[in-house]
């Protein structure tokens, strides 16, 4: 089947934080692309909201500039761009007072029967005020959906506070907690791989899998986000959400249907089965790092402390490696090694399922070279799936073995670019499909597991291990896995 565009119902999408970085980089480019491909129907409107004192014309100019910066020129079609800009409106609202809400209400009053989505691309400090503002000003209709951007709290207590404040005025079915990793094509493909093929399920357990590795490596530093990042760190920024979601998709039982609650029930079970990491075992199971000045791709890059707004001291981690365990019958004893960091040598996100050795080699000394099978799911870049198999090296000279990948490259197989995760997720909001969004109990369970790690780190008071930008993190991260007689995956291809 080739891909096809299914138009969504007309909607009003109100973007709080409409002049912010996320809106510029991700939301407007994604909406533009969906509009260009004919997925948005008239008379859908997109309403930017912020405290800025802009009029509609200035807002459109602002969005046009953002599109020119973040959408490649060859994708910017003049007619599509004009149509898209025509959908845009702007209202100045102060989330913390009554200012501007009536203007917003008046603007969308004629769209009562449309899907009405509010995207909260703001700091989470404003989620409570905005949700209550929507309620107070009678903006919530039966077709209302509210999207919450991460970070959803900085620990369990703050996440619960946000969730409760929002639940005062909205039902769980109206709340879309976004984790953009779930919108990535390859992440969804993980589910296709597992549940649309018969091959993998019988070997997807501790009897056949030796361990799992999940790596999300970035070359970027903290860019202009130092203020946020320094209060967050890699565990809160990447592990508590994106990486645990990936782990859940690898480890969960097959859901009874590809439907929001079945899927989320299964992910929740995994989160609840994670072995606690606390002061008693945190040293052996986790590594924190922070980058120092170094070079990536031949270019010198500053250290973390130099990238912070007021170059001070900081003990925030920009790298985490840890060994997790899912305490279920399926996964008992199988380590899940997670690793993420900024300023690593290359941008790569991948999941590696490392299978066990064959139970017995029948090949005599030639069998010494048998490597166990490995399934590598590459999320980005060069999306694809590789299954490493042992084959006989062709030609004379005795029985020699070689490890060769069956290589499914998405770029070669499907041509054309993959849509951005936000394109898919925004359309799911309009369609009312919550499958790829996190439920309250999932987010809170993830914090329940992360909190004791953060507490243990802070109680032990150990500074993060330094690593040079452009390397794969501190040497302690290598030791973490090598202690178990294993190594981090490196793609030989």
For ligand BG6, give the closer residue by CB, 170 or 243.
243
Q: Is 129 exposed, middle or buried (0-12, 13-18, 19+ CB in 10 A)?
A: middle
For ligand BG6, give the closer residue by CB, 33 or 180.
180
- Residue 177 Cβ vs ligand BG6, minimum distance, rounded to whole Å: 13
Contacts (Cβ under 8 Å, ≥6 apart) of 239: 320, 322, 338, 340, 450
237 binding ligand BG6? (CB under 6 A): yes
- Residue 220 Cβ vs ligand BG6, minimum distance, rounded to whole Å: 6
- CA distances 412 to 4, 15, 190, 335, 416, Å, are 19, 36, 18, 33, 9
For ligand BG6, give the closer residue by CB, 47 or 379.
379
- Residue 40 Cβ vs ligand BG6, minimum distance, rounded to whole Å: 23
Helices (H), 330-420: 410-414
Closest to 234 in 3D by CA, of 304, 135, 299: 304
- One of 218, 261, 266, 315 touching ligand BG6 (CB under 6 A): 218
- Residue 188 Cβ vs ligand BG6, minimum distance, rounded to whole Å: 14
Residue 111: strand, helix, or coil: helix
Contacts (Cβ under 8 Å, ≥6 apart) of 143: 113, 114, 115, 116
Kindly identify the residues of this chain, within the stretch 173-192, that bind ligand BG6 according to CB under 6 A: 180
Closest to 145 in 3D by CA, of 116, 186, 121, 107: 116
For ligand BG6, give the closer residue by CB, 184 or 267.
184
Binding track, positions 131-150, relative to ligand BG6; x by CB under 6 A: -------------------x
350 binding ligand BG6? (CB under 6 A): no
237: left (phi over 0), alpha (psi -120 to 50) or beta: alpha
Q: Is 193 exposed, middle or buried (0-12, 13-18, 19+ CB in 10 A)?
A: middle
**Which two tokens mark 40?**
């948005």
Residue number with the shortest CB distance to ligand BG6?
A: 237
For ligand BG6, give the closer residue by CB, 349 or 354.
349
- Residue 218 Cβ vs ligand BG6, minimum distance, rounded to whole Å: 5
Q: How many CB atoms lie within 10 A of CB 394?
A: 8
- Residue 71 Cβ vs ligand BG6, minimum distance, rounded to whole Å: 16
- Tokens 């996190």 belong to 438
For ligand BG6, give the closer residue by CB, 255 or 464.
464
Closest to 174 in 3D by CA, of 148, 145, 147, 152: 145
φ, ψ for residue 218 (rounded to 5)?
-125, 150
Residue 386: strand, helix, or coil: strand
Q: How far is CA 365 from the centre of its chain?
A: 45
Report how many residues bind ligand BG6 under the rule CB under 6 A. Answer: 5
For ligand BG6, give the closer residue by CB, 150 or 440.
150
- Residue 317 Cβ vs ligand BG6, minimum distance, rounded to whole Å: 12
465 binding ligand BG6? (CB under 6 A): no
- Residue 491 Cβ vs ligand BG6, minimum distance, rounded to whole Å: 18
Which positions are annotated as active-site residues?
242
Q: What is the CA radius of gyration of the chain?
A: 24
Cα–Cα distance, 407 to 388 (Å, whole number): 8
For ligand BG6, give the closer residue by CB, 235 or 326.
235
Sites of contact with ligand BG6 (CB under 6 A): 150, 180, 218, 237, 349
């Amino acid at each position: 089947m080739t891909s096809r565009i299914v138009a969504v119902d007309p909607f009003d999408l109100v973007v709080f934080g409409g002049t912010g970085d996320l809106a510029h980089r991700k939301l407007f480019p994604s909406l533009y692309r969906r509009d260009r491909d004919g997925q948005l129907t008239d008379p859908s409107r997109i309403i930017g909201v912020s405290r800025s004192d802009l009029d509609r014309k200035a807002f459109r100019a602002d969005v046009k500039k953002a599109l020119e910066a973040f959408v490649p020129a060859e994708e910017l079609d003049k007619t599509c761009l004009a149509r898209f800009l025509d959908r845009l409106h702007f209202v100045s609202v102060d989330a913390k007072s009554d200012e501007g809400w009536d203007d917003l209400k008046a603007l969308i009053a004629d769209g009562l029967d449309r899907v009405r989505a509010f995207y909260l691309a703001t700091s989470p400090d404003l989620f409570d005020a905005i949700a209550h503002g929507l309620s107070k000003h009678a903006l919530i209709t039966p077709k209302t959906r509210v999207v919450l951007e991460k970070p959803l709290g900085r620990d369990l207590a703050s996440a619960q506070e946000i969730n409760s404040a929002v639940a005062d005025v909205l039902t769980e079915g109206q709340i879309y907690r976004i984790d953009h990793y779930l919108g990535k094509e390859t992440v969804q493909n993980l589910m296709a791989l597992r549940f649309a093929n018969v091959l993998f399920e019988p070997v997807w357990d501790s009897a056949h899998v030796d361990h799992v590795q999940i790596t999300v490596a970035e070359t970027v530093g903290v860019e202009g986000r130092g203020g946020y990042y320094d209060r967050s760190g890699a565990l809160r920024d990447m592990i508590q959400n994106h990486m645990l979601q990936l782990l859940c998709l690898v480890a969960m039982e097959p859901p009874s249907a590809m439907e929001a609650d079945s899927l989320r029930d299964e992910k929740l079970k995994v989160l609840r089965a994670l072995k606690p990491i606390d002061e008693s075992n945190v040293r052996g199971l986790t590594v924190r790092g922070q980058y120092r000045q170094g070079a990536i791709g031949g270019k010198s890059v500053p250290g973390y402390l130099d990238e912070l707004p007021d170059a001070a001291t900081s003990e925030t981690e920009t790298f985490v490696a840890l060994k997790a365990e899912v305490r279920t019958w399926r996964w008992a004893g199988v380590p899940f090694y997670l690793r993420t960091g900024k300023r690593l040598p290359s941008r790569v996100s991948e999941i590696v399922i490392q299978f066990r050795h064959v139970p017995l080699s029948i090949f005599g000394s030639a069998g010494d070279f048998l490597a166990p099978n490995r399934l590598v799911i590459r999320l980005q870049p060069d999306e694809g799936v590789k299954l490493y198999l042992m084959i006989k090296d062709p030609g004379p000279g005795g029985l020699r073995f070689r490890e060769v990948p069956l290589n499914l490259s998405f770029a070669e197989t499907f041509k054309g670019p993959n849509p951005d995760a936000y394109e898919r997720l925004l359309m799911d909001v309009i369609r009312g499909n919550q499958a790829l969004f996190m439920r309250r109990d999932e987010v809170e369970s993830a914090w329940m597991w992360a909190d004791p790690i953060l507490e243990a780190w802070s109680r032990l008071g150990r500074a993060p291990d330094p690593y040079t930008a452009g390397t794969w993190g501190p040497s302690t991260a290598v030791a973490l896995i090598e202690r178990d007689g294993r190594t981090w995956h490196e793609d030989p291809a």
